[in-house]
Amino acid sequence: MSTLAKASGALKSVDYEVFGRVQGNGGLRGAGGRGAPRYTEQEAKKLGVVGWVKNTSQGTVTGQVQGPEEKVNEMKSWLSKVGSPSSRIDKTNFSNEKEISKLDFSDFNTRY
């Protein structure tokens, strides 16, 4: 069991999808098409949660976050209200939110 899992009580997992101007120039993707995942990955690592993020062909950003409940809630707030510089978040959908017994990931990374 990872130190992350031992450090807290309840572990939580949640899927997310962010809608708005979250890809392209000035959006979450930023220059080179890596902005949103890069900023999301940085925030996740700062908070100490694990999971993944990726840009979709529909122009949204999607992924999954796992970790201690309070850290997952902080990440949900960031995904809903902050995002990366120059992004405009219209809405964020969260689904499959559940308590888990162990983490499925050892890190937070970008999928392509």
Beta carbons of 36 and 92 less than 8 angstroms apart: no
Q: Residue 26: helix, strand or coil by DSSP?
A: coil
- Domain at 11-23+35-104: CATH code: 3.30.70.100
Q: Residue 30: helix, strand or coil by DSSP?
A: coil
The predicted structure's pLDDT at residue 24: 53
Kindly list the domain boundaries of the chain, sorted by start residue: 11-23+35-104
The predicted structure's pLDDT at residue 69: 96
At 80-107, the pLDDT tens digits run 999 888 788 999 999 999 999 999 999 9
The predicted structure's pLDDT at residue 30: 37
At 7-62, the pLDDT tens digits run 447 999 999 999 988 765 344 443 334 567 788 999 999 999 999 999 999 989 99
Tokens of 89: 């978040």
* Of the candidates 75, 104, 85, the residue with the CA atom closest to the CA atom of residue 22: 85
